[in-house]
Amino acid sequence: MIFPACADNFRIVEGATLLYKYYRISSTGGGQTGNVRFTVASLNQTAVTLQVDATTSTQVGPLHIKYSGGIPIYAERLEALVYLPPECVAESLQGKLEWVASLESGTLATVTNETSRFQDLTVTAGFFQTLNLTLSLVGWEYGTLTLIYSVDSGVLVYESWVPSPYGDIITQELTAVTYPFTAEKTALDIVLPTATLIMPIATAVGGAHKALHREGRKRETPTENRQLQNNLQKTPFYIGLTGALLILISVSLPWSQFMGSQVYLPSSLPTLIVRSQLFSMSTFTFVVTSLLAHVTATISWVGIAMEIFTKRKPVAQLVVTASALVAFTSTIILAQAEWPLSWGSSMIIAGGVFMLASAFVGWGKKNVARQGTSSTLHLH
């Protein structure tokens, strides 16, 4: 499971995976973006072993980091020093950076100057209070390496490499942190999918009961009147029903992708049933998107229920329109955060289009009916 990018939720445990997005700006023009994944293969008080893979390269690693008394003493790659223990963070915030000069590294460069400062920083993953380490490197690699860590968790949240005098500029920022699935479920994991299913189930049961009850009264309604009512209401209702079904299905499908893995919404029905086999994100963006998507599913079925059980058609059409707008908003939020869209996010857009079409057709049918009534009155 992937937790929100908040310091209170962060912890480095065996099996955790740090997800980053990187940008490479070429000195000759142009650029490149991609993703990097650091998986904690093993962890103890004196060492961390990382397995690293990126979208533009084959699997790298394992990479090793060694610690002594909470201070890093060896990093196979200086730019891959993705975790600082609390003791190191505390000393560095006080300007005690002797450990940097004594840190052994496979990076072919020497640190000639180091500075540290406290900094508030917002990245793709969220807002952090951070420790900013700025290192000047000479040797095989010349330039400035900036490493920024969450003060509370010690996790690397941002990194930049600016070579001197020329070369590719590389930046990297934290996207999310994943943890191995556990049997634990939050209240939201249970309440959200359950509440989303209640309305369509209740609507289906109530609609079936009403249909059976109506069969016995069909002969009481003149055929011409019944046909007129069906012609006026059938089309928008079935368009809206199609949209509501698409939206309901969408919350159980993957909404995005990350390095070839399909990403499901947090607190959705699939993650509740088969948590250990699915890749789910619970960053702030995905939590908000999930809430909006599930609310959309509920609202859309409220509109369908109003169409079936009430005579307040204009109100029902407003509810249907609102569900379409919320559906579009949920996808826009995900797209603005630069997450690629997948089956679920595409399907909810289609569902929103159907819901909007249902409302417009409903309004159009209503106007036609009014005009027909008005013409009849004039003839008489």
Q: Name the residue with higher pLDDT: 100 or 190.
A: 100
- Going by their DSSP bridges, the two strands 71-75 and 104-105 should be labelled as parallel
Query: What's the pLDDT band for 223 if we cut at 50, 70, 90?
Result: low
Task: Let me know: does 165 contact 116? Beta carbons within 8 Å.
Answer: no
| Domain spans of the chain, in order of start | 2-178, 187-214+222-374
Q: How confident is the model at residue 17 (pLDDT cuts 50, 70, 90)?
A: confident
Name the CATH architecture for the domain at 2-178. Beta Barrel (2.40)
CA–CA distance, 169 with 164 (Å, rounded to integer): 10
Answer whether 2-178 and 187-214+222-374 agree in fold.
Answer: no
Q: Is 252 helix (H, G, I), strand (E, B) or coil?
A: coil
State how far the Cα of 237 lies from the Cα of 348, in Å rounded to an integer.
Answer: 18
Contact 194, 200 (CB under 8 A): no
Distance CA 101, CA 113 (A): 9
Q: Can you tell me the distance from the alpha carbon of 35 to that of 51, in angstroms, rounded to the nearest whole number?
A: 14
- Distance between first and last Cα of the chain: 69
pLDDT digit string, tens, across residues 194-218: 888 888 888 888 777 676 766 555 5
In degrees and rounded to multiples of 5, residue 109 shows phi and psi of: -160, 160
Q: What percent of the chain has pLDDT over 90?
A: 32
Pick the CATH number of 187-214+222-374 from 2.40.10, 1.10.10, 3.30.70, 1.20.140: 1.20.140
**What whole-number distance in Å separates Cα of residue 282 and Cα of residue 275?**
13
Within the chain, strands assigned E span 2-3, 17-25, 31-43, 47-54, 57-68, 71-75, 104-105, 109-123, 126-139, 143-150, 156-163, 169-178, 256-258, 261-264, 279-280
Q: What is the pLDDT of residues 327-361, one digit of tens each?
A: 999 999 888 877 888 899 999 999 999 999 988 88
Mind listing the pLDDT tens digit for each residue in 182-195?
555 666 777 888 88
Within 10 A of 211 (CB to CB), how many other CB atoms are there? 10
